[in-house]
Amino acid sequence: MIQVSTQEMAEERRGMPASFAHPSEEEFARWLDFYGVHWRYESVCFALAWDEDGRVTESFTPDFYLPDFDLYGELTTMKQRLVTPKNRKLRKMRELYPDIRIKVLYRKDVQTLLFKFGIVA
């Protein structure tokens, strides 16, 4: 497996990192903390394509890694019609890294979770 760690020293965290890309990710992290589930934020970048010199030309960094379940999680709040490029990357990732478990939570799924949290997105 070829992967590039973006945070070589990333540790399992139960505190908030400096910043999340989206408020829903921060809410998700708080909720994981609530259940005592360990998580790492954007800790691993998976290489998806390389040029002839071996340089990575395309990569994918899942939002979360949950070591308790050995599961990567990707939250997307984009409208379904805008998800296509991300889905293409996910397909590629699954082809290149078939043993990696990744759960994608789409806009509707994220809304469902936020609804549970008492938030209307």
Partner 1 sequence: MRDSRSAELSPQVGTVVLTEQEIQRRVAGLADEISQDYEGREILAVAVLKGALPFAVDLVRRLSVPAELEMLGISRYQSSGREKTVRIVRDLEEQPTGRDVLIVEDIVDTGLTLHYLTAVLRRRAPASIRTVTLLDRPELRLADIRPDYVGFSVSEAFLVGYGLDYRERFRGLPYIAELIL
Backbone dihedral angles phi then psi of residue 46, each to the nearest 5 degrees: -95, 125
Could you say whether residue 83 binds partner 1 (CB under 8 A)?
no
Residue 68 beta carbon to partner 1: minimum distance, rounded to whole angstroms: 8
Look at residues 73, 86, 106, 6 and name the one whose alpha carbon lies nearest to residue 46.
6
Residue 77 beta carbon to partner 1: minimum distance, rounded to whole angstroms: 9
Give the x-and-dash track for 11-30 against partner 1 (CB under 8 A). ------------xx--x--x
Could you say whether residue 103 binds partner 1 (CB under 8 A)?
yes
The C-alpha atoms of residue 88 and residue 94 are separated, in whole angstroms, by: 10
Q: DSSP code of 7?
A: S
Instruction: Tell me whether residue 48 or residue 74 sits nearer to partner 1 (CB atom).
Output: 74
